Chain A
Amino acid sequence: MTAPAPRRPRRLLATGAALLLALPLTAALFGPLLAPLVTPADGAPYARGGGHPLGTDGMGRDVLGLLLRGGPSALGVATGAVALAYLLGGSLGLAAAASRHKAVDEILMRPVEILLPLPSLLVISVVGVGWRGQPLAIALTVAALNAPAVARLVRAAALDAAGSPVAEAMRMQGESRSRVLFGLLGRAVLPVAAADIGTRIATAVFTVAAANFLGLGMEPTSADWGVTVAGSREALLVQPWAVCAPAAMLVMFTVGLNLLADRLLAPAAEAGTAARAGRALAVRTQKAPK
């Protein structure tokens, strides 16, 4: 197969992914500002028309208004949680990979492996007993659940570069520790992390939405997309918009992110060749001072 052939569908895929992501992201970012302008007063339950472009839900609230307000919690909690997981797990993984003492690596990574298979929705339900309705508690829980996996991934991605002749050469030339850590290891982790962040945020959005859907997360009156899908599901045929609109937002976001991550994975495979080229370069520089 020639090289240019698979590239075109891939670019098409990226455009599609960007288009899919655009709507839920816009709704989440600007929706809360827009909502007061377009939301009419409460109407009858499950009404269609009558000034409500998407009708009303079981409590008579305007569906479009709910949709515009529900984004920040549906996407923000998950995104914040993954960011926190990378801050914690990423630094742990980098530290473990960079340490040249096996004991440090063991001490840092063993607890991570014990925590790795904890079922996420179970932990969320335990947390939900006491801290129901608090987005911060859910975000912290999801972050804590993701951090071990992130630490393992980052460590595995950085380990190759940490043992490479490039790292050795940098150390011998007296480069600072932070330059080795962030300049070399950080760069080696980047393509892997970029693809992982996409799928991880999508999964976190799933988890948070499922928790909200089950009533383990936000209050049942919240505008969150997961909560509103659960609240109106009995009226799926009477008022389909109340269920389909927030569900569509969630699906568009996760499908878009997964497509984007899939596209990012392909360059990550090519990055292997780049790393090998870098190693060859390092061998040359090592020889040069002679």
Chain B
Amino acid sequence: MSASGAWKLLTSTWSGRVGVSLLAAMVVVSALVLILMPPDFGTKYWNDPAYWIELPKAVPPEWYAWFTGSPYFPQTELELRSAGEGAGYVTYVNSLKFDYDALPSHVLVIVRGVRFSGDPPTIAVDLFRPDGLSVPLARVLVPPPSLQEKGPYVRWSDPPLRVAPESSQDFVMALEGWFSATYGLEVGRVSSRTAFAIPTSTGPVPLKGEYVVVARFFGSPGDGVDSVSVVLGGSHYGLAGTDVVGRDLFLGLLYGFPVALGIGAFASVLVTAIGTLLGLLSGYYRGLLEEAIQRVADVVANVPLLPLLVFLSFLLRPSILTIMAILVVFSWPGLTIIVRSMVLQVIEMPFVEAAKAEGAGDLRVILLHVLPQIAPYVAAQMVFFVPSAILAEAGLSFLGLGDPTIPTWGQILELGFRTGAVFTGYWWWVIPPGLLLVLTGVAFASIALGLEPLVNPRLRKA
């Protein structure tokens, strides 16, 4: 059957169409990821906890709040704007209309790019609550220059300084004193989120109203700061939520697309090529070569794959290439055995004998007469093998043996499972990566099913 015939067959069935459209969607997503995301995303961002510090930890996706109507507070960054000068200081101010039913997950003060030439400046950031209390959020003392350093000095340009208010005793005492004096209640442990709360007998609840954040920069003339802002962590985040490190799971899942497809395609092409080549050789040339290849294939085909994969990746310190190499080494025999038996039938056919009688060389006979006969089967097997390779990598990752430099769906799931996401109910952490794995499998299985009549001609008349 020709390639266009196979395409027609594939798109004529319901499952073939489902498979092709799913796969096309995945390819598009992968292409976009490859263009838009940095290739060193894993090592540079994903594995660097500092990068994710501004995001809330282990919160569900935003659309979940929308569906369930649960209390919601969006991830907010409040950048303070310059508002004139006082006696020896510059003020930066901004206000927030707080009208949410959920408290922020945490509060961070972010200071970027402090420049000075003489004495180190200091920065004071305060929060003015609608009930009249002012709380010190941060008191920043810029470290003085070392002896070797030459001015002008720059601090915290990249990465910026991030201050957690609850680390200062002033913050904790101001809130505790105010709560017991004004409301006669304790909130238990004061954390940065309680700066937006009032205590009740059932615990802290949000205090609605207008909040003002004021930063004062005390420094010599000519000194300055690039920006001062306050980050309020959301009660929900993004399209896929975050994990306990605060990583945006949506980015990790996106990055998993090209990785999964790459692993599947690469391993599958290699396995198919090796399997077919060895099958062709042993079926066509027969004799000692056949015997040798088939014996080896028989032995390798009987090796249980997963235990060996686990063992080898444990010892060889896993990289994505080792994993794929092991997969390929242990997966070719199935195809070799079947291709050989198909070749044995094909070379008995009259047109092959005719070609040989006309003096066609071995290569010509194999390429022009034998290969086209088995090509549809081989192609279908190639499609079949893709999800197995992806699942094998995911299984290894789930056992903690994945390539640590590349985030994959299996690894996201593994961390989720190991951190107890199943018990704590962090469903957004374990369900989506598995669902994506299944979806990938479904795409390829549907295509393979659509190609079935090609492989099994009996089904064509049924």
Asked if A and B are interacting partners, one says no
Residues of B within 8 A of A (CB): none
